[in-house]
Amino acid sequence: MRNICMPFAFAGFLMITITSDSRTSAVGANSGRFSYDSYATTLKKYVDDTGMVNYAGLNTDPAKLKAFVDSMGRLDPNVYDRWNEKEQIAFWLNVYNGLTLKVIIDNYPIKPSFFRSRVYPKNSIRQIAGVWDKITFRVMGRDLTLGHIEHEVLRRKFDEPRIHMAMVCAAMSCPPLRNEPYTAQKLGQQLDDQSTKFLTNSKNFRIDRSKALLYLSPILKWFDSDFVNKYAPRENIGMHNRETSAVLNFIAGYLPPSERDFVLKGNFKINYSKYDWSLNEQERPAARKNQNEP
């Protein structure tokens, strides 16, 4: 989840519309219709309400996901460049998450490496060599890695730290994968909903008042500098530095009053939880059967 991309210069025009059945599509002046419909179908069919993915099922039925991946490869960069910022962010979030699904099923079932298995779970995206910095995908006619998309597009080009609540690296400690595409019209609502879900999970945010400890996801440490521009308070919170204060101020906006007051006072130490790199996979029927056998 932590890697690097190349700047783009694009030009064109596009208008996003939501159809009556909630499917998303885009109409470009020069390139015809661009649609998230096939991706929406994939998410609805293979991702449950908790964000867990049926990779086994998707692996046997990849046509809709492949259609989405093919369409992002053919998208005219002259069209993309005229989209507004929300349209662009929604596009790249869908691209990142869609391509992550693609790289998992391209390597499914995941074959663990002897050496990587000494550090990471055997059923993990971390077992796929070069997953973020070597494996490339065609996007708008260019070969890009997932790392490029994350660090040089989403993080560098947009001042929107809530993307870290939406990018899903196929691990249990990632934010939950939405079972709908991101869209420009609903982007703010979707990112707020993702933030709420992420912080509601006690593995990502938990207060221990008796020990004056705050437990946080390491995502909020790895990317704390991304929160400074939008969320840094005038004065640092407690004894915490500017980056951490920005993260705490961000978190506080999604908390009930009693927890918000505790966080904004800053009278605590922070412990960052261990990241669980296990695959965000729905339990397979065979696994359930084996568990029920005497």
- Per-residue pLDDT 10s for the chain (294 aa) are 554 333 333 333 333 333 333 455 554 334 445 699 999 999 999 999 999 999 999 999 999 999 999 999 999 999 999 999 999 999 999 999 999 999 999 999 999 999 999 999 999 999 999 999 999 999 999 999 999 999 999 999 999 999 999 999 999 999 999 999 999 999 999 999 999 999 999 999 999 999 999 999 999 999 999 999 999 999 999 999 999 999 999 999 999 999 999 999 999 999 999 999 999 999 987 655 544 454
pLDDT for position 284: 81
Model confidence, pTM: 0.88
pLDDT for position 286: 61
107 vs 202: CA distance, rounded Å: 31
Residue 3 Cα to chain centre, angstroms: 14
What is the DSSP-derived secondary structure letter of residue 89? H
pLDDT for position 33: 56
Angle of helix 85-106 relative to helix 187-200, nearest 10 degrees, comes to: 50
Domain ranges of the chain: 14-183, 200-272
Neighbours of 245 (CB within 10 A): 24
Q: Are 93 and 166 in contact (CB under 8 A)?
A: yes
Q: Are 279 and 124 in contact (CB under 8 A)?
A: yes
175 vs 197: CA distance, rounded Å: 8
**Residue 251 — φ and ψ, nearest 5°?**
-60, -40
Closest by Cα among 86, 23, 48, 1 to 176 = 48
